[in-house]
Structure 1
């Protein structure tokens, strides 16, 4: 990755938010974030929509920890790394698998930025990423999304 080229590109294109791939965990992906000007936001593509299996939460959260060391978490968002299809007629995943990926993304976002329903009710603040563990998830991720975070405040 040529950091100088990335910095030049970021400076020439008047975009407030950049959508960057961040689903492989490579150093080049992190370098793209480091090269981003401080006044620009970034949306990190943390899930690969071409893979049917869900990404490991701890692995994605470790990547988010690394990104948060170089960019303020409040200037970030997350998304799939690309669309679910190259064309409407040829989706990479069926509708059910796409929905599971989006629910998974919602869970990851709640781990990153906290669960607003849980925070309002319990008066809690967002815990550091390292305090979350996939071992503490309820068996049904949909319950976590519908009902708020079942974990007590750390």
Structure 2
């Protein structure tokens, strides 16, 4: 194992405290300044980190308290992208999101003034010694033929490959900037693989459409590995593969078999994989990742962040043992299947429910890995 394996980890987002929601509303209404909003956010992030450490986490996040969306707040601050309101919202099962989206308006580049740098610098400053502060940002795959975000690439690039290379460079420069600020753990959150699982399954009898989605998968592998190439050796880069997480609902379903051959090509150190219900399929595809990357850590999202009810300890341990038939136990860890609040609305549970879930994960981790 060349990178640390914590076994007990968390995807990253936490429910926004009401004090933060109120401050954001007051800022939007012009009642408080950005500095006053920032002061409230910093105070609450400090309280959050203290709770994370108290609950045994060796990796902490800022809960994504500085953003409204898990992905869009990051993307629309990259040079060459802008926010806009689209006609339709994202159709989750039983819920609709806001209509905000992002689109290309120029050549892509790292933004040296990105607000996420400031948020990470603060997180690092309050993280106790021996604990790792984690950066969470969306995967570049969210820009590649997803929700019309790359439709206008030809207005700014000579070819599709030039666009992919430009996207990769913007991301690598961004990650290196985080590294220069002291980040040693960066996570790229990704819903595209779940989207492709759904599309490849739905179009299995349509060779032409299936080929289009397979090309998207190949492009995603190309860009992600280009980003990861040549990064510092002591930087851990993870990914979280998500099927959608909005107010306790979801977007996609299907097992990993369809995309396992692509996941096995990705040069990540850690994979967070959703396994909280039947939508996720079985553990057999884990071997396709591990066989190509024997040092990888595969974190099983066998605890749901969507509901407050606590899982049965023995049942979870049995699932871990089942997964260990496909890959060594030492290469496994557990987490909630996603964060608790991928958008500021949050899932339908309480802050105490969050800590109950994490305490459950910690107790199971101690039993299984010691």
TM-score, normalization: structure 1? 0.65
Question: Displaced runs of 4+ in structure 1, greater than 3 A?
Answer: 1-5
Measured at CA, do residues 42 and 94 of structure 1 come closer, stay the same or move farther in structure 2, by a change above 3 Å?
same
Q: Which residue in the other structure is 2:263 paired with?
A: 9
Name the CA shift for 1:63/1:2 in 2 (closer, same or farther; >3 Å): closer
- Taking only aligned residues, the RMSD between alpha carbons, in angstroms, comes to 2.1
Q: 2:349 aligns with which of 63, 71, 93?
A: 93
1:19 is aligned to: 272
Number of matched residues? 113
Give the Cα separation in 2 of the matches to 1:36 and 1:92: 33
Change (3 A) 1:66 1:23: same
- CA positional deviation for 1:26: 7.1
1:32 and 2:285 matched: yes
1:146 alignment counterpart? none
SS of structure 1 residue aligned to 2:310: coil
Alignment match of 1:55 (pick from 295, 306, 311): 311
- What secondary structure is seen at the aligned counterpart in 2 of 1:90? coil
CA distance in 2, matches of 1:112, 1:80: 16
Distance 1:61 1:25 in 2: 17
- Cα deviation for residue 58 of structure 1 reads 1.2
Structure 2 Cα separation of the partners of residues 50 and 97 of structure 1: 10
User: Does the 8 Å CA contact 1:18/1:41 hold for their aligned counterparts?
Assistant: yes
Q: Given that residues 49 and 81 in structure 1 are in contact (C-alpha distance below 8 angstroms), is that contact kept between their aligned partners in structure 2?
A: yes
Distance 1:54 1:4 in 2: 30
Query: For 1:57 and 1:25, how far apart are their aligned partners in 2?
Result: 18
**Secondary structure of 1:18 counterpart:** strand
Q: Does 1:105 align with 2:358?
A: no
Deviations 1:12-67 (A, max 9, x none): x2212111112226782312313223312211111001111100111111101101
Ranges in structure 1 where 5+ consecutive residues have no aligned partner: 115-154
Task: Check the 8 A contact 2:256/2:280 in 1, yes or no.
Answer: no
Contact 1:21–1:44 (Cα < 8 Å) also in 2: yes
| Partners of 1:105 and 1:25 in 2: CA distance | 20
Q: TM-score, normalised by structure 2?
A: 0.29
CA–CA distance in structure 2, aligned partners of residues 2 and 49 of structure 1: 20
- The 3-state SS of whatever aligns with 1:42 is strand
Secondary structure of the residue aligned to 1:36 is helix
Q: Distance in 2 between matches of 1:2 and 1:106?
A: 26
Q: Following TM superposition, by how much is the alpha carbon of 1:2 offset from its aligned partner in structure 2, in angstroms?
A: 6.4
In 2, Cα distance between equivalents of 1:86 and 1:80: 13
Shift of 1:85: 1.2
Separation in 2 of the partners of 1:29 and 1:83?
21
